Amino acid sequence: PVEHLLPGPVAAAYFNEEMYDLANQRLELEGFRRKTHVQCDSETTDIPVPKWAYPEITVVAAHEGHVARASEFRKVLQKLSGVEIGMAFISKSRQAPGEKTYETILVGDVKDRECIIIDDMVNTGTTMVSAINLTKESGARGVYAYATHGVFGGGGSLSDRDADGNNFNSTTAPQMLNDTDALEFLLVSNSVGKNRPGLAPKIRQLSVAPLLAEAIARALHNYSISGILDLEDLPKPPQRP
């Protein structure tokens, strides 16, 4: 099976760029410009977004079972951004033995922060929607989500109750997520179906091709594949005489 952790670095790099773009937009509103060019030794470079302008971010595990996955994502995003990234998780517990519904509690600081919810897959979408709404209701400034696999199984038909016992009208999972006002966008890899038509505007697909190429290169040269998680560069091969 595809290891759920591996696409994390690619997704973290994607979100890092998104957060820099968000910081850039806010700086421009305040009279600053990131893309002011500086001429130096005949080379033109961009003035980087200062660290103080980078959004305050919390990575949120969709439930306790995803804390390790979310922690790896947070570690990479923190390394790429160079700023401290917060951590939180959603806990589910039955209020009484035999209860079919769960009480969901968000553990961690999300108030006035940009939050990225981490899950392994999205199928019906009910768990993700519940997590998005809970995070927003807990004071998050913006809510984003990343799931390794966008399964959207069974045609996305929803007829059951979600984890909190709420009924959803019959619709597709992508459309339900798109209609969730609290969601900025959901990022999924293209591990399940490539460039599938009909995905809602708020759902973005990320190619895992660079990741697979990196893994193959590491395997051919007997380097650690798990080193991708730590953003380790492949050593350059020795030059031929």
Q: What is the pLDDT of residues 66-83, one digit of tens each?
A: 999 999 999 999 999 999
**Per annotation, catalytic residue among 92, 136, 202, 236:** 92
Question: Is the four-CA dihedral 2, 231, 237, 206 of positive or negative sign?
Answer: positive
Q: In this structure, what token pair is assigned to residue 124?
A: 């019906």
Q: What is the pLDDT of residues 123-165, one digit of tens each?
A: 999 999 999 999 999 999 999 999 998 888 744 333 444 444 4
111 is catalytic: no
Which positions of the chain have pLDDT values less than 70?
1-6, 29-51, 94-100, 154-171, 193-198, 229-241
Model pTM greater than 0.85? no
* pLDDT for the residue numbered 139: 97
- Reduced DSSP (H G I as helix, E B as strand, rest coil) percent helix, strand, coil of the chain, to 5: 35, 25, 40
For residue 236, which amino acid is it?
Answer: K
Q: Which residue, among 21, 147, 25, 26, has the nearest Cα to 81 in the 3D structure? A: 21
